[in-house]
Amino acid sequence: MNPRIGFVTSVASELDRQLNFAAAGDFDYVEVLMDGPHAHETLASRASDVRATLADHGLDLVVHLPFPTDIGSPYPGVRDGAIETQRTCIDVAADLGAEKGVLHPESSAWEVAWEDAALRDHIDASVADLTAYGADRGLEICAENIFDSAYTIEHIDRLLANTDASMTLDTGHARVTGYDAADTAAFVADHADRISHVHLNDTRRPADEHLPFGAGNLDFEPIFEAFPSGWTGTLSLEIGTRSLEYLEYSRSHLDELL
């Protein structure tokens, strides 16, 4: 296992501050969450500055496309609008030089009225569309397992079979779905060829806590061991904090495990 290491940016902290921290902390890349103050309009308006900062620091770029955009909506107008929004974000990400884009394959349709099986057809078509659109612009789309959705880790095999998308494995989302470390490790062993990106989302319980890495009790060692020795994907620390000190602690703990 020879991954590159980065972290998901916080919308509660200035992007330049986080980029400077990434360079000082010897991270390989940053994963910019394209929402709020870092939405595509803002990033596009300062694209040259962002590209220059990344180049000066020797940092690669991954983006987390905004969510929840309803790319699985049963209503064509809503679905088309969501796809168009994601395409615009992909254009901006590609212009910034991003190599991967994390995508939530989900719908916010009313669960009482719409069964997951029906929504998956719409999601599959949208993900296929966006994967091809991204590929044409040099951006690899990585669909993420989402808890309490049509595409939890239990069902994402179908999406991988029906599209050319890569996968983002979110460890915390897997745990919320009921997977322990051994279950997630088994999934990795079966799908490492499609897993391009990982969100290291630590938890103390089956909840989407996004704790500093090592502050939870999720056992990452068997998960890492399940990846083949030649795996060269990307690992993002996904922490719900604006504290750079927690990111520093998380990187130190991750380095110890790796």
Task: Please count the structural domains in the chain.
Answer: 1
d(CA 79, CA 152): 20
* Domain carrying residue 211: 4-257
For the stretch 165-195, pLDDT in tens is 999 999 999 999 999 999 999 999 999 999 9
**pLDDT of res. 4:** 98
Label residue 242 by pLDDT band (50, 70, 90). confident
Taking the model in full, what pTM does it have? 0.97
CATH code assigned at 129: 3.20.20.150
**pLDDT of res. 78:** 98
Percentage of the chain lying above the pLDDT 90 cut:
98
For the stretch 92-146, pLDDT in tens is 999 999 999 999 999 999 999 999 999 999 999 999 999 999 999 999 999 999 9
- Can you tell me the mean pLDDT for 8-15? 96
For the stretch 28-69, pLDDT in tens is 999 999 999 999 999 999 999 999 999 999 999 999 999 999
